[in-house]
Amino acid sequence: MIMTAVSARKGKRKMKTVTEKLGEIVAEAFEACGYDGKLGTVSISDREDLCQFQCNGAFDGAKLYKKPPFVIAGEVVDILLKNNIFKKAEVAKPGFINLTLSDEYVSKLLSEISEDKYLSVPQTGGGATVVVDYGGPNVAKPLHIGHLRSAIIGESIKRLAKAAGYNAVGDIHLGDWGLQIGLVITELSKRFPRERCFADDFSPGKDSVLTLDVDMLSEVYPLASKKSKEDEEYKAEAQRATFELQNGRAGYVALWKEIMRVSIPDLKKNYDRLNVSFEYWYGESDADKYVGELVDILKEKNLLKQSEGALIVDLEEEDDKSPIAPIIIKKSDNSNLYSTTDLATIIQREKDFSPSGIWYVVDTRQELHFTQVFRCAKKAGLTSAKTEFLGFGTMNGKDGKPYKTREGGVMRLEDLLTTAKNAAKDKLNASAYLSDASEEEKDSVAEKVGIAAIKFGDLINHRSKNYIFDLDKFLSFEGKTGTYILYTVTRINSILKKTETDYDAKPSLFRLYSDSERELALKILLSGERFKTALAERAPNNICDSVYQIASAFSKFYHDNKIIDEKNEEKKNAWLSLCLLTRKMILKHLDLLAIDSVENM
Ligand code: ARG
């Protein structure tokens, strides 16, 4: 038997989104009329008032077959109407095919989703390894809000990639080897000049090292940083200390270990609150041992050049629109730079994971740095992985400038999270949702609601955009907010509890009775498309949009129907099935956003 284009398409893919499924059906109709099946591509309607889906293939067909588009569309529609998949298939002049699904077909798709263990996340990863580089905090400095976006966007992208079947590994890429450590060492050496770790003859096994704690570190670093900006000599000292640390000065290495011992649990604590975790806690320091190899490769490929005592690599390419500066590999004093470390890290990742992709979730202001790093890595053939810069914009205050504390300083992440939690608590108390709850319970709900508000308020914006941090708005029970989504889940929980329906019960039957159900069902069916776009664009805002659509369609459905009191058993069952699936889908979205839900609020 000869395999037709359609049957070949059918055999190839396991998991399909709705538009892919419909695309196959429409392609078959095009083929049945003697046209190329490729014309059958289906997309989500941009006129929701007219139809749910559309196919614009008749226009290309018109050119190919020299026929008016509405004639082709008409022939295709005639075939489609023989199918009970569509409630409506019609031609809209001059040749659009407008499609609306039949209730039976929608019900069938709903049960397919509810049986699907991936809950319609398209399985496109195929086990390929991607390293997601996100978080990127600098040890010795307390986490500040500048690190919020990388952490939460990166975590979501990683979760989505995992859910799509990638072997995604998160690497925090600590800034643990740079000037900030030199600054801390310098400041401490002034305060505690007699400590053995500052002596030239420090002996690791024998001598003890100064003991630090988080409070001390968070006081020392900003001060040292300020001093270095005002005092050239101080700055030179810090640079020297950094250099000596990187060259293995024993006392400094011991002190560095102490800084790491104190910093890392503190970082973990903050990331835990955000539901962010990393498979690897490598730092810039771990890349240090690959710098020699990097230099050798660059030499061997004749890429290294001397320039004013430094070692550089030229990066210009023929079709560059604007000039791109060479990348510096070694400064004239032989020290390494941020770029050196990033290149060495690529060598390390290639050795450890041989990834097919490395995704960097970093502030857009670092784009040039990554353009340079990627070009150099490519010239040197450091990896076959596709390197991607996934930049994010700035979190601004209401004045449109980068968010600051009231006093004008940079806010600590911990303080921001606690502010959100307290605001959530006030709000929940005022609304008396939790009047019977214990203090402890209220506290835990407030923490989750506060964090959800911050995360959703951030993630709803396309990562590349700046946005305005507005806690009141983020905590609102209405609109595209984390609070609204969590609240919707608690509403469903309460229906299920009142009807004694187990959360994990298998939906027994899908049947649609009204438009608000059709609307909700459609939004659920479209999740797969949104997940697909989110992954393709590496942009979690698509997941936020999707879950908001589902939650607001649910609210309408809930508002229109008295689910709990419904007398018709079959109807009630169908409604409860829809509640169960809605809940499952919302929780799936939240999981991909790394947002915890609450039972009650
Ligand atoms: N530590 C850096 C910073 O605070 C971010 C690191 C981003 N990742 C990287 N591979 N360079 O700016």
Q: Distance, CA 223 to ligand 1 centroid (Å)? A: 22
Nearest CA to ligand 1 atom 11: 342
Q: Distance, CA 577 to ligand 1 centroid (Å)? A: 46
**Low-confidence residues of the chain, pLDDT below 70?**
1-15
- Beta-carbon contacts of 255 under 8 Å, excluding residues fewer than 6 positions away, are 185, 188, 197, 209, 210
Q: Distance, CA 172 to ligand 1 centroid (Å)? A: 9
DSSP string, 376-394: HHHHHT--SSEEEEEEE--
Q: Give the number of other CB atoms < 10 A from CB of residue 266.
A: 18
Pairing of strands 96-101, 129-133: unpaired
Question: So what's the pLDDT on residue 166?
Answer: 98
Which tens digits make up the pLDDT trace of 503-537?
999 998 999 999 999 999 999 999 999 999 999 99
Nearest CA to ligand 1 atom 12: 136
Give 501-509's long-range contacts (Cβ < 8 A, gap of 24+).
501/576, 501/579, 501/580, 503/580, 503/583, 505/580, 506/114, 507/110, 507/111, 507/114, 507/576, 507/577, 507/578, 507/580, 507/581, 508/573, 508/576, 508/577, 509/107, 509/570, 509/573, 509/574, 509/577
Q: Is the CB of 529 under 6 A from ligand 1?
A: no
Nearest CA to ligand 1 atom 5: 136
Mutate to test the pocket of ligand 1, among 360, 382, 410 (most ligand atoms within 8 A of CB): 360
| Residue 338 alpha carbon, nearest atom of ligand 1 | 11
Which tens digits make up the pLDDT trace of 133-147?
999 999 988 788 888
Q: Is the CB of 138 under 6 A from ligand 1?
A: yes
Q: Distance, CA 174 to ligand 1 centroid (Å)? A: 7
Question: So what's the pLDDT on residue 344?
Answer: 98
Question: So what's the pLDDT on residue 212?
Answer: 95
Q: Is the CB of 135 under 6 A from ligand 1?
A: no
Question: So what's the pLDDT on residue 142?
Answer: 77
Q: Is the CB of 173 under 6 A from ligand 1?
A: yes
Q: Is the CB of 342 under 6 A from ligand 1?
A: yes
Q: Distance, CA 439 to ligand 1 centroid (Å)? A: 40
Question: So what's the pLDDT on residue 101?
Answer: 97
Using CB atoms within 10 Å of the CB of residue 77, give its burial: 0 to 12 exposed, 13 to 18 middle, 19+ buried.
Answer: buried
DSSP string, 172-223: --BB-SSHHHHHHHHHHHHH-TTSGGGSTT--TTTS------HHHHHHHHHH
Q: What is the spatial distance between Cα 260 and Cα 203, in angstroms, rounded to a whole number?
A: 19
